[in-house]
Amino acid sequence: MVSRSELRKLFYSADAVCFDVDSTVIREEGIDELAKICGVEDAVSEMELVSRLQERNVQVFLISGGFRSIVEHVASKLNIPATNVFANRLKFYFNGEYAGFDETQPTAESGGKGKVIKLLKEKFHFKKIIMIGDGATDMEACPPADAFIGFGGNAIRQQVKDNAKWYITDFVELLGELEE
């Protein structure tokens, strides 16, 4: 277990930061956004945080149990390459009817976010990965993530608030940590 001050140091020196998407990077759950065609224009502090991390040569990933088609749209708004997106793929029949989702994606199964982080460590040899999110599945990704930061700026999940060593409600707090 790391202390809060150690967690802050880990965040400051991270090789990679992984964000959950639904109710973290975007304000709504993805299924709601699908109906609205995914508006993320008001996510100013999220964009600034991602930009600041990228300026520091920190790799930024989006890991979601939501739909890749939505998450890729969010990623493009945040200047995150599609190769750094891990989410569920929708499948359709040739006639255009919904056929389900691709069950081979790691995010399609229980513990999927942790599997993605393990894969990132193996593939890129990251020493320090931080997971940021609002839900229990985000918190469960640590380990293999080296640290978890709970986020309650859009939705407060009591389990996360109670158990995260570092719990924030605004990304401005993380931006401040990068300034120090």
What tens digit of pLDDT does each residue of 42-63 get? 454 567 788 888 888 888 888 8
Based on its alpha-carbon atoms, the radius of gyration of the chain, rounded to whole angstroms, reads 16
Low-confidence ranges of the chain (pLDDT < 70): 1-2, 7, 22-46, 90-93, 98-102, 104, 106-108, 180
Location of structure tokens 């973290």: 24
> In this predicted structure, what is the pLDDT of residue 37?
47
Sheet order of strands, 129-133 included: 85-88, 59-67, 16-19, 129-133, 147-151, 166-168
Active-site amino acid positions: 20, 22
So what's the pLDDT on residue 71?
75
Record the pTM: 0.73
Q: Identify the burial level of 68 via C-beta atoms within 10 angstroms of its C-beta, where 0-12 means exposed, 13-18 middle and 19 or more buried.
A: buried
